[in-house]
Chains A and B, each alone.
Chain A
């Protein structure tokens, strides 16, 4: 794998790869022009880009810092609720609401991290799971502010960039594409930068990293804060795109927390393009399964979901990118 090369910055900037990235971006920019701006395909693509960005944000904590979070829905929901409540009560632009949500999520992440970030592995997964559930219970029971179990609708505002509302799906597509590029750049900067090296040292051997002077707590905290903040921002985007959400969906373990992780895992944990590949596999498959089986078999799509997760872990825990790499290598060898 190129990722194992000593200098990831050099590996990431190889000319062949740069050309490929530029080509993919050009296609991504052009695709909506050929699609019905109100249609179903562009909605699925928008959702895919959004979930790719979410998987990427999870990847900062789960892939780089190796802290398996099962509670990122907590931050995602904070972002969605913060911007929507500020819009509902004060008519504040969701862009500003997004910043408020991000700040709030950073606070929540810090409050959670200070006592628990020393926890590792299973314990960290458990504590984050409980954190997401705490947020869900609060959203369900604090009805006067959150609207309770019924959920919240984003107040209607005319088609405007400032109010983050559009009649068609196309503008959301470009916003989600921009979000994905932004989160991916953050991920890549961390991975190639000093923080990435520290996190990798911690991942390999936390005690050894500590001995050579890495402040393991600080490095993990930084990664955690960045990841939580980005996730909250994406929560606002989701709220504006879907117009409606309720506590059990937005703070859901299966709907958000595990899905974010699954996207990163299916593509390849810790790889820059892992969540993107993962999202383009998972989300369309899910949408297709839901559309094909709509209402006929409740639970089937979630069942398949679990089965895919089990299959990936048992068959190819390194993810689809590694699978592609292996297949590509075999193909080249056969041609020779």
Chain B
């Protein structure tokens, strides 16, 4: 019983990070209608930014996550401008393969620049944990969860209340009408893409204290992120939060029952099942 409770706690903590990482992907789809297959690579980029900030400037990854957010926001806005904008109205096959090409370029670009080495950071809280009854709560997991929750809350408030956030939602609902009332939809797309990949990079940075970064790390998250997003409903940022926690808990529970190698298999099967049964997501009535 206790080990299931422990798995639940672990699952929720990891799932919170999955939620913020995937909300970026959902945001991009919700506002631009583009499924970004390269999205997980921005998590890798964020991890590298945070690692370099730690290694050369001595900044803790939890603070470095803000640098990652800003750097990758600008990087993403540039990519949106040069690569994504021309294919916004193109057939889906063009959108799929452009982002798949981008995935290869980012992963192998990192390999060319940084080499295949695994890099990790060392922080004072890395091995700390809290004990609540029989449950062990690892401190780096808890901190990553709290940072994710905080940024998720800020994202929600931004989309809900700020002028830009409302303009972005209007763009998602009806780009034509948004244009008619004077919203610069091109700019909204650019902000949405930058923010989407920036949030994912932020998520990558906050998990750096308990993981290692290497060029292929993004590949671990491709199907995971899509599972989260599809569970919550493609395009729904609030859904990504629910999906993230669900995937975290599913992973933690399946680790109790199946050998480690099969952990991802369970995830993929859940993914296929969700796509087959409820492609519109578990929560209906998506809102960006």
Contacts and interface: CB of A to CB of B under 8 A. Distances in A.
Given A126-B275, A138-B265, 16 more contacts: A115-B277, A126-B226, A126-B230, A130-B223, A130-B268, A133-B264, A137-B265, A141-B259, A269-B93, A299-B108, A302-B107, A306-B105, A307-B101, A313-B101, A314-B86, A314-B87
A306 B276 contact: no
Given A115-B277, A137-B261, A303-B104, A265 B97 contact: yes
Contacts of A298: 111-112, 116
B98 interface: yes
20 contacts: A115-B272, A123-B279, A125-B35, A125-B96, A134-B268, A140-B261, A141-B261, A141-B262, A299-B109, A302-B111, A303-B111, A305-B101, A306-B104, A309-B97, A309-B104, A310-B105, A313-B94, A313-B97, A314-B86, A317-B94
A138 B262 CA distance: 8
B103 interface: yes
A178 B174 CA distance: 52
A107 B264 CA distance: 23
A244 to B, nearest CB: 22
Interface string A128-162: 01110110011011000000000000000000000
A119 B185 CA distance: 29
Contacts of A302: 104, 107-108, 111
Interface stretch (A163-171, A191-199, A254-262): A254-262
Contacts of A97: none
A23 interface: no
A143 B98 CA distance: 36
Interface in A76-128: 112, 115-116, 119, 121-123, 125-127
A125 B34 CA distance: 13
Nearest to B33: A122
Interface in B264-281: 264-265, 268-269, 271-272, 275-277, 279
A314 B108 contact: no
Contacts of B265: 134, 137-138, 141
A258 B100 contact: yes
A262 B261 contact: no
Contacts of B15: none
Interface of A: 62, 66, 68, 70, 112, 115-116, 119, 121-123, 125-127, 129-131, 133-134, 137-138, 140-141, 254, 258, 261-262, 265, 269, 297-300, 302-303, 305-310, 313-314, 317
A254 B104 contact: yes
A209 B104 CA distance: 37
B111 A134 contact: no
A310 B272 contact: no
B55 interface: no
B215 interface: yes
B97 A297 contact: no
B102 interface: yes
B82 to A, nearest CB: 9
Contact of A306 (B92, B103, B268): B103
B116 A130 contact: no
B99 to A, nearest CB: 9
Interface in B91-145: 91-94, 96-98, 100-109, 111-112, 116
Interface of B: 35, 37, 83, 86-87, 90-94, 96-98, 100-109, 111-112, 116, 215, 222-223, 226, 230, 234, 259, 261-262, 264-265, 268-269, 271-272, 275-277, 279
A36 to B, nearest CB: 33
Given A141-B261, A310-B83, A297 B112 contact: yes
Contacts of B264: 133, 137
* Most chain B CB neighbours (cut-off 10 Å) among A115, A138, A265, A313: A313
B227 to A, nearest CB: 8
A127 B227 CA distance: 10
Given A141-B265, A313-B94, A123 B109 contact: no
Contacts of A306: 100-106, 108
Contacts of B279: 119, 123
B216 to A, nearest CB: 10
Contacts of A308: 101
Given A122-B35, A122-B96, A306-B101, A116 B276 contact: yes
B29 to A, nearest CB: 8
A303 to B, nearest CB: 4
A123 B29 CA distance: 12
Contacts of B111: 298-299, 302-303
Contacts of B92: 68, 121-122
A255 to B, nearest CB: 11
B39 to A, nearest CB: 12
A131 B97 CA distance: 18
B98 A310 contact: yes
Contacts of A314: 83, 86-87, 98
Nearest to B265: A137
A116 B98 CA distance: 24
A127 B274 CA distance: 10
